[in-house]
Structure 1
Amino acid sequence: MSETQASRESSDDVEVRDVVDPATVRRAPRYKAFFLTGALVGIILGLALSFYLVSTPSGTALMKPGVYVTVLTAFVTTVTTLLAGLFAVIADRRSLRGR
């Protein structure tokens, strides 16, 4: 390897501390964590709510309670996941206020 190629490669190597200013690092939320948390909360809340509703006196007359449990759990999970995404977007917008 010639000296010009070696000097060119060494000039491309830059320290991260020289490029990144810690005062300008943006603290954006991790959307995946928000969505997973919303989904888990939705599943737990949906199952608890649907099993409670199925076990009430009016719920015992249902012909197929499994269908109601499934649909209600899916609906509650969808709503809580969307709410978690909304909270993530709000947190992301709040992280940009100081700029």
Structure 2
Amino acid sequence: MSETQAQRESSDDVEVRDVIDPATVRRAPRYKAFFMTGALVGLVLGLLLSLYLVGSPSGSGLMKPGVYITVLTAFVTMVTTLLAGLFAVIADRRSLRGR
């Protein structure tokens, strides 16, 4: 390697601290965590709600209560997961507001 190439390569090396300012690092939400939390909350909430509705006096006439429990739990889980995704998008937009 010639001396000019070595000088050129050494001059291209830059410290990361000199280039990146920690104050400008964007804090984006982790979408997976939002979706997983929404799904878990939806499962618990859906099971509790469907078991309450099936056990109530108005739910005594149901032919197959397991189907109602499954469908209601799946619906509540879907809604809460979508709401969690919406909250993640809103949090992401708020992180961009000051820029």
**What's the % identity of the aligned pairs?**
80
Q: Unaligned regions of 5+ residues in structure 2, if any?
A: none
Tell me the TM-score normalised to structure 2 length.
0.86
Equivalent in the alignment of 1:82: 82
Could you list the structure 1 runs, at least 4 aligned residues long, displaced by more than 4 angstroms after superposition: 10-13
- 1:38-89 Cα offsets, whole Å, 9 max, x none, are 0000000000000000101121221111100000000000000000000011
Tell me the TM-score normalised to structure 1 length.
0.86
Offset at residue 25 of structure 1 (A): 0.6
Aligned counterparts of 1:44 and 1:11: Cα–Cα separation in 2: 58
Q: Which amino acid aligns with 1:51?
A: L
Offset at residue 15 of structure 1 (A): 2.7
Q: Which amino acid aligns with 2:24?
A: T
Offset at residue 5 of structure 1 (A): 6.5
Aligned counterparts of 2:13 and 2:64: Cα–Cα separation in 1: 66
Q: Which amino acid aligns with 1:66?
A: G
Give the superposed CA RMSD.
1.8
Q: Which amino acid aligns with 2:27?
A: R
Q: Unaligned regions of 5+ residues in structure 1, if any?
A: none
> How many equivalent residue pairs?
97
